[in-house]
A and B are shown apart, each in its own frame.
Chain A
């Protein structure tokens, strides 16, 4: 069982950072909603507030790690230009997709949207974390603040979903390959 360094970094970008960030959304949305529900009769304890702070800051860090690792590590591999005369495009995903009319729109629509829209998520989530941690329960006052914060959190989820879904499809049609090989396990046969 082996994996290339590029595969490993791509998995870390998509599953380690991106998917973990997406998984964290349900917890964040539920807690933000519960915390800001005007009918709530209780106020979070300092321990709960600390946990929420760690959770939201963790989400912000994951969001930024996802977009920076994608844009500055994985994307340059994706858009690498093959040397003249190379006919095997398997290590040049962008060129591989563009080489056929049946796959070119995965790049022209999928990658072009993914590479930009994903950046809305960390911007929105940083704001959500800042406002939630600064105002805590007071984000119900006035109600518009809660609506805005939850709206931007939902937008960050949608942006991440778009980027993640296209990332998964792109990895099916033109995976980022190459780099040195890491042997994880070897059969004795």
Chain B
């Protein structure tokens, strides 16, 4: 990527795009990451939830955790994008929520933290 061209060069104009689609994608990614953590924790904490999430036996509970998290992520992305695709939003709170959900994803997949929450 060695060549650049001056401002006003080729390519479509992206400066006028509303920030809604980006906000939708970023919050949906946070929701997807949070869903991985919440479902992993639920599968670990409850045997019955763990059995429900076992949709492909060779992979076990992980199969349901990740499949469901991907579905939640994509549905959230689709819904938020439909809602925000033409809007310019004040994104501060949206991005804070996205990062909070990302942190939930990291923490609730960390086994010592899961054990702490379960009082083990």
Residues of A bordering B, CB below 8 Å: 31, 41-49, 51-52, 67, 71-72, 75-76, 79, 108-109, 112-113, 115-117, 119-120, 123-124, 126-127, 130-131, 134-139, 141-142, 144-145, 147-149, 151-152, 155, 158-159
Contacts and interface: CB of A to CB of B under 8 A. Distances in A.
Contacts of B65: 116
Please report whether the interface of chain B is mostly helix, strand, loop or mixed according to DSSP: helix
B119 interface: no
Interface string B58-81: 111011011001100100000000
Contacts, number: 143
Given A43-B8, A138-B14, A148 B26 contact: yes
Contact of B102 (A124, A144, A145): A124
How many of chain B's residues touch chain A, expressed as a range?
A: 35 or more
A158 B62 CA distance: 20
A114 B110 CA distance: 9
B33 to A, nearest CB: 5
A148 B98 contact: yes
Interface string B23-37: 001101100110011
Most chain A CB within 10 A, of B19, B37, B65, B98, is at: B19
Nearest to A77: B58
